[in-house]
Amino acid sequence: MEQLESFGLPDTFPESMMPAPGAQLVRDCLKVKGMRKQDLMKMARSRGFRPTWKRLEHLGPGVYGFGLTIGRCVVPLMVRMVVVSSTVVPSPASSEQQPLF
């Protein structure tokens, strides 16, 4: 399962061009632990941003284009997702100390 790690903008879109509602969305997403693609898309849609999602393979694994249309401005956000394990490692069944080597 992939979860949100970070956001970024391409060099062609300076941070100063980011509409305030888009910057707020980024801040709100980063406050939530374990954000998945579905959560990001839902949050953006609920704010009327018409999001798009596309894998950016040339930038490496886990990097996606997360486009937002905010009013008349198209914001080309990049999202880095990381794979997290949902499996739990069981503890040793024996109550004896396990050997260190």
Residues 4, 62, 28: CA angle, nearest 5 degrees: 20
pLDDT at 101 over 50: no
Alpha-helix residue ranges (DSSP H) falling in 32-94 = 37-46
Give the model confidence (pLDDT) of 19-34 as tens digits: 999 999 999 999 999 9
Query: What integer is the mean pLDDT of 79-87?
Result: 86
- Report the pLDDT averaged over residues 51-61: 96
**pLDDT at residue 88 is higher than 80:** no
The mean of the pLDDT values for the chain is 89
User: Taking the domains of the chain in order of start, what are their residue ranges?
Assistant: 2-83
The dihedral formed by the CA atoms of 8, 9, 14 and 16, expressed in degrees to the nearest 10: -50
pTM of the model: 0.80
Structure confidence at residue 98 (pLDDT): 53
Structure tokens given for 48? 């009327």
pLDDT band at 85 (very low <50, low <70, confident <90, very high): confident
